[in-house]
């Protein structure tokens, strides 16, 4: 359309370009409060427990908490929709049970177990998605019912007994490593697996290139970008951390297979939530349901698929968890939904929907993971551990609120 001929009577105040320090405060500290907290937690744990940064422990961290991160990916989408899924712990047990029956009772190949578990997860998601999206029952209620239904199904499928051991390839999903593709070398006096380090190096280069391209894209459209020094600093920091991590675990058993799976999932879901219309629609629905509806967002459709996706990921987590445990138990995954939900809230998701990032949920999950890990290393009592986790959850969200309130303009 042609230009509007009434001009504002006051010249528009343009944002003055921010100084380095201001930019650091505005865009780094404020938006990444949880990341800062994560760094602090790591430093504290590293000082407190000298085993914390050791190669075996860093390897274990990934093996132990990967399924929570997978669940948190789906949970974040559900939470941003202003819904919740309380059933995932039971679904993990149910899908793990299905896989165990397929592999151990029916003696089918390991991948048939994976397919069956994931397929059952999708069915569960479709079932719950139907009630939430089509019938309109709140997700809280539907999935509370689901928690009971699928726990019961898990018990029936397993005939009230544990099934184990998987062994073989199924076991390796969560416990296998890639090592010795290239010969080992001596680095800083340590015996390191070259393949692991190469993979991490490629990841770092990939990260740097993608950041660079994003920056170029923003510049091309004349968008604000971080000062060059900060930009390089950020990449260097990530590279140092990633390479240190790679260096450490390369001294242990090599590259965990589950780490590769996890990385792929995180990247895919990061893109889906960050820059696909599906993700954008989820934010729109959570932000203002009515406005989204009137903007042509297919609310029922998106809600349905978000639950299907949650079921899918619960199936994946069921596989990962049962592989990790090398068997299926009727009581597997109890309380796991709460860990996934906590990861999202610690990571800055809003309890009323519309706000939350994949990266945040992952950092939130990692905070929970490292704290649990640190407490186990220190040998804290069974009572103290959940108390501390509960306090961390409360304080993390309080900190996030305070951080946002402090820096935002009063309405």
Torsional sign, CA 359, 362, 368, 371: negative
Among 181, 205, 268, 291, binds another protein (CB under 8 A): 291
Cα-based angle 45, 48, 51 (whole degrees, multiple of 5): 75
Cβ 22 to another protein, closest distance in Å? Answer: 10
Q: Cis peptide leading into 165, omega within 30 of 0?
A: yes
Residues 253-272 that bind another protein (CB under 8 A): 271
Cβ 291 to another protein, closest distance in Å? Answer: 6
Residue with smaller CB distance to another protein, 10 or 135: 10
CA–CA gap between residue 346 and residue 369 (Å, rounded): 12
Q: Which residues contact 152 (CB under 8 A, 6 or more apart)?
A: none
Structure tokens at 168: 């073989």
When asked if residue 298 is in the footprint of another protein (CB under 8 A), the reply is yes
Cβ 96 to another protein, closest distance in Å? Answer: 32
When asked if residue 136 is in the footprint of another protein (CB under 8 A), the reply is no
Q: Which one of the spans 227-235, 244-252, 258-266, 291-299 is the region binding another protein (CB under 8 A)?
A: 291-299
Rounded to 5 degrees, what are φ and ψ at 211? Answer: -65, -40
Contact status, residue 63 vs residue 256, Cβ threshold 8 Å: yes
When asked if residue 14 is in the footprint of another protein (CB under 8 A), the reply is yes
Among 292, 340, 343, 349, binds another protein (CB under 8 A): 292
User: Per DSSP, what are the bridge partners of residue 177?
Assistant: 256
Q: Which one of the spans 1-9, 151-159, 199-207, 235-243 is the region binding another protein (CB under 8 A)?
A: 1-9
Cβ 332 to another protein, closest distance in Å? Answer: 35
Among 47, 135, 229, 294, binds another protein (CB under 8 A): 294
When asked if residue 17 is in the footprint of another protein (CB under 8 A), the reply is no
Rg (CA), the chain: 23
Residue with smaller CB distance to another protein, 324 or 357: 357
Residue with smaller CB distance to another protein, 47 or 411: 411
Cβ 411 to another protein, closest distance in Å? Answer: 5
Among 19, 288, 351, 394, binds another protein (CB under 8 A): 288
What is the enclosing helix (H) or strand (E) of 314?
helix 299-325
When asked if residue 19 is in the footprint of another protein (CB under 8 A), the reply is no
Question: Which is nearest to 99 in space by CA: 22, 168, 47, 177?
Answer: 168
Q: Which residues contact 33 (CB under 8 A, 6 or more apart)?
A: 348, 399, 400, 403
When asked if residue 405 is in the footprint of another protein (CB under 8 A), the reply is no
Among 145, 227, 270, 287, binds another protein (CB under 8 A): 287
When asked if residue 4 is in the footprint of another protein (CB under 8 A), the reply is yes
DSSP state of 354: S
Q: Which one of the spans 67-75, 98-106, 153-161, 289-297 is the region binding another protein (CB under 8 A)?
A: 289-297
Q: How many CA atoms lie within 13 A of 200 on its CB side?
A: 23
Q: Which residues contact 64 (CB under 8 A, 6 or more apart)?
A: 324, 369, 373
Q: Which one of the spans 3-11, 146-154, 159-167, 388-396 is the region binding another protein (CB under 8 A)?
A: 3-11
CA–CA gap between residue 132 and residue 142 (Å, rounded): 7
Q: Hey, how many other C-beta atoms are within 10 angstroms of the C-beta on 106?
A: 11
When asked if residue 5 is in the footprint of another protein (CB under 8 A), the reply is yes
When asked if residue 1 is in the footprint of another protein (CB under 8 A), the reply is yes
Residues 215-244 that bind another protein (CB under 8 A): 217-218, 220-224
Q: Hey, how many other C-beta atoms are within 10 angstroms of the C-beta on 266?
A: 18
Torsional sign, CA 83, 89, 91, 92: positive
Cβ 218 to another protein, closest distance in Å? Answer: 6
Structure tokens at 55: 């190669």
Task: Point out which residues bind another protein (CB under 8 A).
Answer: 1-10, 12-16, 217-218, 220-224, 271, 275-278, 280, 283-284, 286-288, 290-296, 298, 350, 354-355, 408-411
């Amino acid at each position: 359309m042609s230009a509007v001929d009434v001009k504002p009577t006051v010249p528009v105040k343009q944002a003055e370009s921010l100084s380095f320090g201001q930019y650091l405060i505005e865009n780094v500290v404020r938006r990444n409060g949880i990341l800062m907290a994560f760094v602090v937690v790591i430093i504290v744990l590293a000082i407190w427990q000298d085993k914390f940064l050791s190669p075996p422990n860093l390897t274990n961290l990934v093996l132990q908490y990967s399924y929570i991160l997978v669940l948190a990916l789906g949970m974040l989408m559900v939470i941003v929709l202003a819904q919740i899924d309380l059933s995932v712990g039971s679904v993990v047990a149910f899908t793990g049970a299905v896989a165990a029956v397929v592999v151990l009772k029916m003696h089918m190949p390991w991948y048939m177990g994976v397919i069956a578990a994931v397929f059952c997860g999708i069915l569960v998601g479709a079932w719950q998605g139907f009630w939430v999206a089509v019938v309109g029952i709140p997700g809280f209620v539907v999935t509370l019912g689901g928690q009971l239904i699928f726990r019961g199904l898990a018990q029936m499928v397993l005939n009230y007994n544990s099934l184990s051991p998987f062994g073989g390839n199924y076991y390796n999903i969560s416990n296998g490593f890639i090592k010795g593709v290239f010969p080992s070398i001596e680095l800083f006096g340590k015996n390191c697996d070259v393949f692991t380090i190469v993979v991490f190096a490629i990841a770092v280069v990939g990260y740097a290139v993608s950041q660079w391209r994003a920056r170029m894209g923003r510049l091309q459209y004349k968008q604000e970008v971080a000062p060059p020094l900060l930009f390089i600093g950020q990449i260097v920091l990530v590279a140092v951390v990633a390479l240190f991590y790679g260096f450490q675990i390369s001294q242990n058993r090599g590259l965990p297979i589950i780490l590769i799976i996890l990385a792929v999932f995180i990247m895919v879901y990061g893109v889906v939530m960050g820059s696909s219309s599906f993700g954008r629609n989820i934010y729109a629905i959570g932000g203002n349901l009515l406005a989204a509806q009137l903007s042509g967002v297919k609310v029922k459709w998106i809600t349905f698929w978000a639950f299907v996706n949650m079921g899918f990921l619960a199936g994946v987590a069921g596989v990962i968890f049962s592989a990790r445990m090398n068997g299926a138990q009727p009581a597997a995954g109890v309380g796991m939904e709460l860990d996934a939900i906590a990861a999202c809230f610690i990571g800055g998701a809003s309890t009323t929907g519309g706000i939350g990032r994949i990266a945040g949920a992952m950092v939130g999950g990692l905070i929970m993971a490292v704290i649990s890990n640190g407490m186990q290393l220190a040998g804290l009592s069974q009572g103290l551990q959940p108390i501390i986790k509960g306090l961390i959850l409360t304080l993390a969200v309080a900190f996030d609120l305070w951080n946002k309130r402090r820096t935002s303009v009063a309405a």
